[in-house]
Amino acid sequence: MAHDLETSHGGEHPDIARWREAAQQDDFARLDREGLRALMLDCGADDCGFVDVSDPAIADQRAWIAALLPGARTLVSFVCRMNRDTVRTSVRSVANEEFHQTYDDVNHVARRAVRRLEDMGIGAVNPAAAFPMEAQAYPAGMRVISHKPIAEAAGLGKMGLHRNVIHPRFGSFILLGTIVIDCGIESYSSPLDYSPCLDCKLCVAACPVEAIGADGTFNFSACYTHNYREFMGGFVDWVHEVVEAEDADDYDARVSPGESVSMWQSLSFKPGYKAAYCLSVCPAGSDVLGPYVEDKIDYRKRFLDPLLAKPETVYVLKNSDAEESIPQRLKSKTVKVVDYNIPSGDPFSFLFGLTLTFQRRKARGLDAVLALTIPDHGPMQATIRVRKSRIEIGLAVPECPDASLTAEWPLLHRIFRDALSMEDAVKAGAELSGDVEKAQAIRNCFPVYRPRG
């Protein structure tokens, strides 16, 4: 009792005294690289690697990382395996559950590891493997951390044509996690010196909306519109259908019973991916490639053909490549045109959105440069260049554009989002000079809003 009183009247707090004693005994030893790897594997990771926060490969994430953990020094990237045949099945409910269960595994591994590190006196944070994100920032930077470039820097794989990281052993059947810690280690991982991708193009063939180009291009809007139909943008479109329906009969005419129940299921039990077929068919990875190497024809019949033959609704944007090609290529699929769901509330997000919504098939044979001036924002100047079925965006006006368009932001928005023709845009107040046909051809390389009602 006397000791307690003595402490309370000026002696050092007992918890602080115990902490000082432990520190002097070096109980708070920092992990070395092998010790950190052993910890991660013991917590349930299937593989891991380590990246210095100063690594140039993740320079664009440093502000986010600093917000997660001030004083962060090391990123621990790790993978958890998915069960391959469960992902490969054409039964979406089964495949989706495997994704969600593995995401839960990733989050549990990260949380266990952070608890272990915390007990050792090491500061650590475990951002989520996928959702939830910083949703209040939508449609801008919702993400908390970008796992893919970190995994590449950590030597856990390379991104293939399908834009997923392919692990050298487990192939595409992995999900990624990252832990941020405040101490360094003696050495860090190195990126792979080769790509596990076999360049088989099976992911190109499997994608129902042709989002993956054999030449390495990627149509973001096609993937986002279909595969993520019951995520952010598609959910907003469904809400609009609910709000705009005149009555129950009108709603039923807009949305099928199966779509309504599927949306309910996504809201109740985690959202369902509509495809992810690019992962299902991927034969890369030393543990995976055997059946493909032994018999490529049989591999295709087992894993690709059932996905292509499956009857299902495929969601596309109006005036998109997918809207045109799916009825010709995949007779088993039913095309449904839905609303444009990539926001562009200001000129900068609009220009970035053009890179996400560009339709390369519609740009075939086009070589044109359009100079833009937006007088009510600066004035702001920009360039849209289309050539070799690719788009380039610049923030300056070139010396010799094929055409020049000056339009205030609301009018420019109508031209590109509502398909207002160049002729009608001029009548509405836009200034257009040069090759009008090329200007219109550039505009036609992008989808438009679907007329509602």
The pTM for the full model equals: 0.90
Q: How far apart are CA 288 and CA 10, in angstroms?
A: 66
Residue that is last in its domain, among 278, 308, 338: 338
Same domain, 55 and 24: no
Q: What pLDDT is recorded for position 136? A: 76
Cβ 378 vs Cβ 406: under 8 Å: no
Same domain, 282 and 241: yes
Domain contains 226: yes
Domain contains 192: no
Q: What pLDDT is recorded for position 69? A: 96
Q: What pLDDT is recorded for position 28? A: 40
Residue that is last in its domain, among 181, 215, 242: 181
Q: Is 294 helix (H, G, I), strand (E, B) or coil?
A: helix
- Torsion angle, alpha carbons of 359, 363, 369, 370, to 10: -50
Same domain, 334 and 360: no
CA dihedral (249, 253, 256, 259) positive or negative: negative
Cβ 353 vs Cβ 428: under 8 Å: no
Q: What is the CATH number of the domain that holds 391?
A: 3.30.1050.10
Same domain, 49 and 117: yes
Q: Is 283 helix (H, G, I), strand (E, B) or coil?
A: coil
Same domain, 62 and 9: no
Same domain, 293 and 334: yes
Same domain, 24 and 35: no
Q: How far apart are CA 319 and CA 447, in angstroms?
A: 5
The number of distinct structural domains making up the chain is: 4
Residue that is last in its domain, among 126, 151, 181: 181
Domain contains 193: no
Structure tokens of 133? 């994100």
Domain that holds residue 134: 31-181
Same domain, 95 and 74: yes
Q: How far apart are CA 330 and CA 72, in angstroms?
A: 49
Q: What is the CATH number of the domain that holds 62?
A: 3.40.109
Domain contains 197: no
Burial of 54 (0-12, 13-18, 19+ CB in 10 A): exposed
Q: What pLDDT is recorded for position 27? A: 39
Q: What pLDDT is recorded for position 25? A: 54
Same domain, 100 and 9: no
Per-residue pLDDT of the chain (453 residues; tens, 9 = 90+): 444 434 555 678 888 887 777 666 543 446 789 999 999 999 999 999 999 999 999 999 999 999 999 999 999 999 999 999 999 999 999 999 999 999 999 999 999 999 999 999 999 999 999 888 887 777 667 778 999 999 999 999 999 999 999 999 999 999 999 999 999 999 999 999 999 999 999 999 999 999 999 999 999 999 999 999 998 878 989 999 999 999 999 999 999 999 999 999 999 998 899 999 999 999 999 999 999 999 999 999 999 999 999 999 999 999 999 999 999 999 999 999 998 777 777 888 889 989 999 999 999 999 999 999 999 988 999 999 999 999 999 998 788 999 999 999 999 989 998 889 999 999 999 999 999 999 999 999 999 886 665
Domain contains 141: yes
Domain contains 218: yes
Domain contains 429: yes
Same domain, 173 and 117: yes
Same domain, 82 and 177: yes
Structure tokens of 313? 């609704």
Domain contains 436: yes
3-state helix, strand, coil in the chain (%, to 5): 45, 15, 40
Q: How far apart are CA 40 and CA 37, in angstroms?
A: 5
Same domain, 391 and 295: no
